[in-house]
Amino acid sequence: MAADKERELDFLCLTLLELVAEIHEKKQEQEKCLQDGFLCLAKARYALGVDRVSKLHYAAEMTPNLFVDCSKSDGDHTEEKWDILKCVNSKFYESQSQEPTDSTELRRRRRGSEPDSPEDDDKELDALLQEMKVKEKPKVSSTDPLRWFAVLAPQSLRQAQTAFTKAAHVSCEICTLRNKLDATKKRYADARRTHEAALIESSSKTTEDNTAEPQKTESTD
């Protein structure tokens, strides 16, 4: 029993140290993303002008594209649960709210006396859809913050956007790891407390047994 508790304490110790190392690594990754982002912003300012990329050009109305999805970790009822924070974009919630409809399917008309097989029709349709996807170019949406600063945003500004988006994702990961660290710390403290209480109880029992034995030997004499 005591050995099991000690093993559990060792496991929790190692888990804590691993989590700290992981957090440190993620922090360094975040710093690198931010440094890249600042450098790209400086390049964009050089290209567009100092005042073009500043708070003077923030939009009067802003709608976020990045959100934080909060959920609880899996595990027993005995284990301490922590909050998992995940960075998602607005499409994540749009896709969840959309109900499946059949109106997006194209209607196919029967041609001639001999009806085509459904498989051939499907193949043609798939090929047509593939062609359409290739021809579509990525468009800047109206809620894209790139539009605040320039109609034709330079590559450096797009790169800055990518770097800061990645920094936001890494920030969410760091927060999740921190919550996990706090939960593990609490579990370690609880396990340590029970282990110490068990040790004190067992040591008091052995002292009682030791004092009882001389009394027995005296009575037999």
Binding site for another protein (CB under 8 A): 13, 16, 20, 23-24, 27-28, 30-31, 34, 37-38, 41, 53-55, 58-70, 82-83, 85, 87-90, 92-94, 96-97, 144-146, 157, 160-161, 163-165, 167-168, 171-172, 174-175, 178-179, 181-182, 185, 188, 192
Q: Which two tokens stand for residue 183?
A: 């939960």
CB of 206 to another protein, least distance (A): 19
The angle, 0 to 180 degrees and rounded to 10, between the axes of the packed helices 2-48 and 155-220 is 170
Q: Which is nearer to another protein, 121 or 147 (CB)?
A: 147
Q: 136: left (phi > 0), else alpha (psi -120 to 50), else beta? A: beta
CB of 64 to another protein, least distance (A): 5
What SS3 state is found at 146? helix
Strands (E), 36-158: 66-72, 83-89
Placement of tokens 């939960």 in the chain: 183
Q: Which is nearer to another protein, 118 or 138 (CB)?
A: 138
Distance CA 175, CA 88 (A): 15
CB of 140 to another protein, least distance (A): 12
Q: Which is nearer to another protein, 69 or 213 (CB)?
A: 69
